[in-house]
Chains A and B, each alone.
Chain A
């Protein structure tokens, strides 16, 4: 593996880092029961244009190693940016001291062969073109045109067109013979507009804030795709200014895939995390209404509901070959025909809970220990077409693009709001409504799922938060339009 000439060159190339890691293994592997090293290097470029004027550029480089040591079945972790032999040795000594000091107070004693198996392989995401290859000037030019496309009238007072390009490389080596190299390229775009009339302001975006996140490169920043989308963002922002407020009451609701993403994330993904169920997050992110006894038993939703953890999807944001514990990533059903079958837990949670899990033991960067995270959580397509679903509704609302989200620490009572709504009467969309909100309780909500669309759309988010110390992780979600019966719906206002 060669370091790309386009990234700012560090004194040590990726090959040198790999060699330093192996040298440390040779020097120290007899000093502990098990030793693993994770080198993590990431370069992110942020670029934005506001109101057709250059707004911001920022680049961010992360480069460091997490040293993991097991003594008496307990892990110690130490993170360093000093990749010299001396720096790595110092981190090793710290990790060893932590593992030894806390071994007698360990929450669980792990068998390293069970939770850190030998893993060998590589992964490379499909993206090609880097920022340097396209050039800042060209990228800013395209964002400027995107901003202009949103300016459909003088009422559009604010237009932001921005992107984030992330290139990440993760190497794992361990005393059990692990050798994993994974390389990622991710392009995330965000186009949003605010329209104002009198004291009313309405915001519309391209499927929700930063929802278009994919494993791809700058080759996907194509104006023929972007400009029509941006024009639509502008038009819909203005149309919301003359829209009525979403009515209150019990209605049938169709959630578009860009809102299904958030619904899946908050009310399926988080409650199924095994470490939450085991209680690790009780002081911070929260516990879960799901118990270990529910797997294989609980009817989570209607039989139309099929949900997978799928790290194998082309271009979906959280695809990879191995998680940070070295478990090979495979696609697994979490919910099958509405029944809960599997949780989101890596090898450590599987060992603690004796329940099946998935390869989702992931860390945000070199400076954090891995924990159970979401990845790609997808709701599989059904057999209903969107026109059929609309036709089946007497009075209802179709809601697009997440605007606000909130759910309790056990993941029961949620409330979400969307950017844009369409009112449905007697099987037809009759008007645009603004500030559509809905609230409900997780199991009742998923059991009211009455139809699942036949076409999926894929989105993602770079910002899922969890953990102590806290970590931000990237997730992908794909889903079709889905119809839910009889939800509590309401609009905006004081």
Chain B
């Protein structure tokens, strides 16, 4: 059922389809084909029981057809049924030619390039997804375990008619879970390429310990400013909101980037802050949806100064600036915030008196122009006094200026960081993620 060679089967099929389509091109026509696919088991559970289990096998081909200064984009399903796919893509190619004629010229036409070749195939070592599901549930039976398992193959590939050829496939899993006690929960994420039932039991044991803090009496805070520790997962939520255009050069030009004043040098953030794209994390291939290859590392923030934004080839054409082959949305794909000098075991002592924020929820800009963020505390957040956890807090709304939080209010960054894969599953399993430390800040403002 979960053929071990799924991604290899897809790869050879994909090479055939690409060759087939490229051979049908006429003079001066160019075609780029990008594949995104998965063979995944999704299991969602509540009260340690299965609510819904779904097997999804899907492949989509993003076609970029370029001819006479025009570009046509089409995303089509690939069925792995050769007769169906051959007939279908022949029709699609005809349609692309016809519809391209109707389109206006592309004012920022990016000519196709051969961006080289690369190949990555992550070997499949762990148990089959169904076994992971069984082993996930087994030790949770006396808990109110609410978890989501995603497991299986994911492929990303890109080829074009000039000979570019990239392939990336990996078999991975994640268990995004919470263990509830009343209205509160201990929340964590276990992910990797090889599920290990012993490691899983250790993780569950840690979550259980965490749960004990939730049994302490709840602390109701009054709105005001607090010293706060943001765990790597809480910081990931903050970073997530910046992925809505803040790092985008297009966003800088059209006024939608929250970092516009920072990039213009009107604000200077903490010298402790170093941020960059780092593809050596291995969560994502360096090629984007057009097969363009980003540098392995790109510094965005150095010692608090925003030195680079993400620039796609399209923005490069439009604004006459060098591209760094960002994705079309110019969002980070593998962001790293460099760790600092605070040892993680020293976090509570250094925080001393304040709030320990394990998870945040539903962040949004409350004022994008001044990079002010609002959001909620969620799951397992605690009040700390004298360097000791006093009890869980009643959830609070915060409203903080990012330029203050990452500027004068940044007290310390932990030396240990966590790699947090992107667990989004809208339309398809995401790839990518981030590597983040924990962060202590002062004057973190609760408003409600």
List A residues at the B interface (Cβ < 8 Å).
8-12, 53-54, 56-64, 74-84, 86-87, 91, 93-95, 97-98, 101-102, 105-107, 135-137, 140, 157-158, 160, 194, 196, 199-201, 203, 278-280, 282-284, 286-287, 364-365, 367-369, 371, 404-410, 413, 415, 417, 435, 437, 439-441, 465, 468-472, 488, 492-494
20 A/B residue pairs, CB under 8 Å, sorted by A: A11-B83, A57-B103, A81-B80, A87-B81, A91-B57, A97-B1, A98-B53, A101-B53, A107-B47, A107-B51, A158-B256, A200-B369, A282-B46, A367-B427, A406-B362, A406-B374, A409-B361, A409-B362, A415-B448, A494-B401
**B266 partner residues in chain A, CB cutoff 8 A:** 199
Q: Is B49 close to A, CB under 8 A?
A: yes
Residue in B73, B91, B130 whose CB lies within 8 Å of A59? B73
Residue in B361, B403, B426 whose CB lies within 8 Å of A470? B426
* B222 to A: closest C-beta gap in Å: 14
**B102 partner residues in chain A, CB cutoff 8 A:** 135-137
Docked complex Cα distance between A368 and B372 (Å):
35
* B428 to A: closest C-beta gap in Å: 8
Docked complex Cα distance between A437 and B399 (Å):
12
* A29 to B: closest C-beta gap in Å: 20
* A276 to B: closest C-beta gap in Å: 11
Docked complex Cα distance between A58 and B289 (Å):
13
**B370 partner residues in chain A, CB cutoff 8 A:** 492-494
Docked complex Cα distance between A75 and B44 (Å):
12
Contact flag A415-B73 (CB < 8 Å), given A107-B45, A135-B102, A194-B256: no
Residue in A12, A53, A280, A286 whose CB lies within 8 Å of B107? A53
Contact A417 B367 (CB under 8 A): yes
Q: Which residue of B lies closest to A439 (CB)?
A: B448
Contact B448 A54 (CB under 8 A): no
**A135 partner residues in chain B, CB cutoff 8 A:** 102
Docked complex Cα distance between A61 and B91 (Å):
13
Q: Which residue of B lies closest to A363 (CB)?
A: B54
Contact B58 A367 (CB under 8 A): yes
Contact A405 B378 (CB under 8 A): no
Q: Which residue of A lies closest to B254 (CB)?
A: A158
Contact B84 A82 (CB under 8 A): yes
Q: Is B196 close to A, CB under 8 A?
A: no
Contact A282 B366 (CB under 8 A): no
**A137 partner residues in chain B, CB cutoff 8 A:** 102-104
Docked complex Cα distance between A157 and B319 (Å):
14
Contact B56 A439 (CB under 8 A): no
Docked complex Cα distance between A71 and B256 (Å):
51
**A74 partner residues in chain B, CB cutoff 8 A:** 50
Docked complex Cα distance between A10 and B79 (Å):
11
* B328 to A: closest C-beta gap in Å: 9
Docked complex Cα distance between A60 and B426 (Å):
15
Contact flag A79-B177 (CB < 8 Å), given A12-B84, A413-B376: no
Contact B378 A415 (CB under 8 A): no
Contact flag A102-B88 (CB < 8 Å), given A54-B106, A59-B73, A404-B365: no
Most B Cβ at <10 Å: residue of A53, A102, A106: A102
Contact flag A8-B91 (CB < 8 Å), given A59-B73, A59-B74: yes
Docked complex Cα distance between A408 and B184 (Å):
13
**B448 partner residues in chain A, CB cutoff 8 A:** 413, 415, 439-441, 488
Q: Is B18 close to A, CB under 8 A?
A: no
Contact B75 A58 (CB under 8 A): yes
Contact A201 B47 (CB under 8 A): no
Q: Is B158 close to A, CB under 8 A?
A: no
Contact B58 A64 (CB under 8 A): yes
Q: Which residue of A lies closest to B149 (CB)?
A: A468
Docked complex Cα distance between A413 and B375 (Å):
10
Q: What 7 additional pairs, Cβ within 8 angstroms, besides A105-B137, A199-B264, A406-B364?
A: A11-B87, A79-B58, A91-B57, A283-B178, A404-B364, A404-B368, A469-B429
Docked complex Cα distance between A107 and B52 (Å):
9
**B51 partner residues in chain A, CB cutoff 8 A:** 107, 280
* B179 to A: closest C-beta gap in Å: 10
B residues 50-74 with Cβ under 8 Å of A?
50-59, 71-74
**A203 partner residues in chain B, CB cutoff 8 A:** 255-256
**A12 partner residues in chain B, CB cutoff 8 A:** 84
B residues 305-354 with Cβ under 8 Å of A?
none
**B255 partner residues in chain A, CB cutoff 8 A:** 157-158, 194, 196, 201, 203
**A82 partner residues in chain B, CB cutoff 8 A:** 79-81, 84
**B367 partner residues in chain A, CB cutoff 8 A:** 417, 435, 437, 492-493
Q: Is B76 close to A, CB under 8 A?
A: yes
Contact A107 B104 (CB under 8 A): no
Q: Which residue of A lies closest to B99 (CB)?
A: A136
**A160 partner residues in chain B, CB cutoff 8 A:** 254
Contact A365 B78 (CB under 8 A): no
Contact A64 B254 (CB under 8 A): no
**Could you mark each residue 120-141 of chain B with 1 if its beta carbon is under 8 Å from any beta carbon of chain A, else 0?**
0000000000100110010000
Q: Which residue of A lies closest to B83 (CB)?
A: A11
Docked complex Cα distance between A91 and B56 (Å):
9
Q: Which residue of B lies closest to A196 (CB)?
A: B255
Residue in A8, A102, A435 whose CB lies within 8 Å of B92? A8
* B447 to A: closest C-beta gap in Å: 7
**B54 partner residues in chain A, CB cutoff 8 A:** 77-79, 98, 367-369, 469
Q: Is B150 close to A, CB under 8 A?
A: yes
Docked complex Cα distance between A82 and B50 (Å):
27
**B88 partner residues in chain A, CB cutoff 8 A:** 8-11
Docked complex Cα distance between A166 and B361 (Å):
31
Q: Is B95 close to A, CB under 8 A?
A: yes
Q: Give 3 nearest A-B pairs by CB, closest first.
A: A201-B255, A469-B425, A492-B367
Q: Is B176 close to A, CB under 8 A?
A: yes
Docked complex Cα distance between A200 and B370 (Å):
10
**A493 partner residues in chain B, CB cutoff 8 A:** 367, 370, 372
Docked complex Cα distance between A78 and B58 (Å):
11
**B366 partner residues in chain A, CB cutoff 8 A:** 404, 406, 415, 417, 437, 492
**A97 partner residues in chain B, CB cutoff 8 A:** 1, 130
Q: Is B105 close to A, CB under 8 A?
A: yes
Docked complex Cα distance between A490 and B447 (Å):
11
Q: Which residue of A lies closest to B52 (CB)?
A: A369
Contact A468 B399 (CB under 8 A): no
Residue in B1, B53, B106, B176 whose CB lies within 8 Å of A77? B53
* A145 to B: closest C-beta gap in Å: 13
**B364 partner residues in chain A, CB cutoff 8 A:** 404-406
**A101 partner residues in chain B, CB cutoff 8 A:** 53, 130, 133-134
Contact A79 B369 (CB under 8 A): no
Contact flag A408-B397 (CB < 8 Å), given A54-B103, A102-B50: yes
Contact flag A81-B1 (CB < 8 Å), given A58-B73, A105-B137, A439-B447: no
Contact A81 B79 (CB under 8 A): yes
Residue in B103, B178, B378 whose CB lies within 8 Å of A136? B103
Contact A468 B44 (CB under 8 A): yes
